[in-house]
Amino acid sequence: MLSLSPHLILMQLPLLEAGQLIVVMGIAFIIITLIASTSRFHTMIQLSEDQLTTVDDCNDFFFIQVTRYLSKINRTASGFIVLVVQFQTDQADWRPVQEQLLQKLKNLIRSDCDKACLFREDCVAAIIDASEERLAEVVERTTRDLKQIVTGLPNVSVFRTGASCFPLHGLNTQMIIDTATDALEQADFESSLPLCIAPSPEQEEGTEEKSPSQEDLGEISREDKNAALDPLTGVLKPESVASYMRKYLAELRREKKPAVLLCIGINRIDNIISLHGETAADEVIAGVSRLVQKLTRNCDLIGRYHRDDFVVMAPCTLEEGEKISRRIREAIQKEVFLFEGKRLKASVGIGITAHPEHGRNLRDLFRGAYTALEIIRGWNTSSCLVYDPAQHSQKKINHEPTP
């Protein structure tokens, strides 16, 4: 069969039809590109570090980790530091050396709130939970400690570090990483302390420097999360929460850490809608989200999975998870949400499951916690309930909750 190239086909069509064909082809190309990009993003979320086989995999994985820290910034004003470490070696195969240096870097940072990753083919990187005020202190100490360790590594000849921090050096993932790598290029391999910290952005002449507000940080950072955050609440949106939490649970399993899953449901949101309207309900939902973020830690992951329901994954024991739940429930019960001069009240029910006690995968943990939440809703009260497979597997039970 004779095949014609696209430009020959267009030459044989009337002008209007040719224009329509160009538009259709353009739209199709954009859709295919978006699908490929989204598929790539979710594939990277599912990968563990030992599955990162290419340099692009490592770079994408690092990008996603920085984005995850941005997604948590709505509940802390402290910010975080990105540290990039570049090394040189005489070895023909650089990857084993890179993995060896990564392990040494992991030993220098905190496992509960910091993250170290492979980056490029000649770098490792760390994301360190620390404020802008501690930037120089943290980077200098880490570089100095790393220098002592690297001296004893036969395969690493020299190294250097570059650093940036959020929000000082940028409000999106790419800007923060680019600033750190730009600083890296300014560092001297042969220096006694081979580091360079990105300088503060110069203040515009004749204008007073204004620190971005927490609301500004939340809005700007939301633009840079591959649509992972819910615009109303600032936490993971329903389409993203399962992928992120499945990956997070895999990390905790690999590190042999306990985990707790909380299903938090706002009670009687329909009553607020009928009395005060949809906008008032949104204000209450956003307010509850702010309290949940405030009362959890940076290492806890929060998502919204229904309009008025949230899910929290926290690396802690079941006992600690119950304490977190009670603290959240009591704080929300005391809070007053203001809307157009009206004082609105809300309460929540919280279903609780733990890993490994109630399951080893996200599906089982969520099913148990959501079942416990539905039981609380049946009681029509505000309470916290740990899922009990022996009693709650049928969901319908006839006793009242304990206070």
List pLDDT tens digits, range 15-56.
Answer: 545 455 455 455 555 545 444 444 444 444 444 555 556 788
Q: Which of 22-26, 32-36, 191-195, 345-349 has the lowest mean pLDDT?
A: 32-36
More confident residue, 3 or 185: 185
Task: Output the pLDDT for position 207.
Answer: 38
Task: Output the pLDDT for position 111.
Answer: 84
Q: pLDDT category, 174, cuts 50, 70, 90?
A: confident
Express each pLDDT in 120-154 by its tens digit. Answer: 989 999 999 888 888 999 999 999 999 988 887 88
The mean per-residue pLDDT over the stretch 390-395 comes to: 69
Q: Which of 51-60, 124-133, 197-206, 349-358 has the lowest mean pLDDT?
A: 197-206
Q: Is the pLDDT of residue 377 over 50?
A: yes
The mean per-residue pLDDT over the stretch 273-296 comes to: 92
Residue ranges, comma separated, of all CATH 3.30.70.270 domains in the chain are: 49-197, 228-392
Residue 291: both structure tokens together: 């309290």
Name the E strands within 167-229: 195-197
The mean per-residue pLDDT over the stretch 195-207 comes to: 64
- Name the CA dihedral angle for 244, 249, 254, 259, rounded to a multiple of 10 degrees: 140
Q: pLDDT category, 288, cuts 50, 70, 90?
A: very high
Q: pLDDT category, 238, cuts 50, 70, 90?
A: confident
Separation CA 394–CA 277 (nearest Å)? 35
Phi, psi of 161 (to 5 degrees): -130, 150
> How large a percentage of the chain has pLDDT more than 90?
39
- The pTM score is 0.49
Pairing label, strands 80-88, 337-339: unpaired
Q: Say if domain 49-197 classifies as CATH 3.40.50.720.
A: no
At residue 200's C-alpha, the angle toward residues 203 and 67, to 5°, is: 115
Terminal Cα distance for the chain, rounded: 78
- Nearby residues of 103 by Cβ (< 8 Å), 6 or more positions away: none
Q: How high is the mean pLDDT of the chain?
A: 79
Residue 184: closest CA among 160, 211, 219, 208: 160
Q: Would you list the DSSP string of 57-76?
A: HHHHHHHHHHHHHHHHGGG-
More confident residue, 403 or 89: 89
CATH superfamily assigned to domain 228-392: Reverse transcriptase/Diguanylate cyclase domain (3.30.70.270)
Q: Is the pLDDT of residue 392 over 90?
A: no
Task: Output the pLDDT for position 216.
Answer: 37
More confident residue, 399 or 335: 335
Task: Output the pLDDT for position 219.
Answer: 37
Express each pLDDT in 292-301 by its tens digit. Answer: 998 998 788 8
- Mean pLDDT is highest, among 227-241, 271-285, 382-396, for 271-285
- Nearby residues of 109 by Cβ (< 8 Å), 6 or more positions away: 115, 116, 126, 128, 142
Task: Output the pLDDT for position 11.
Answer: 52
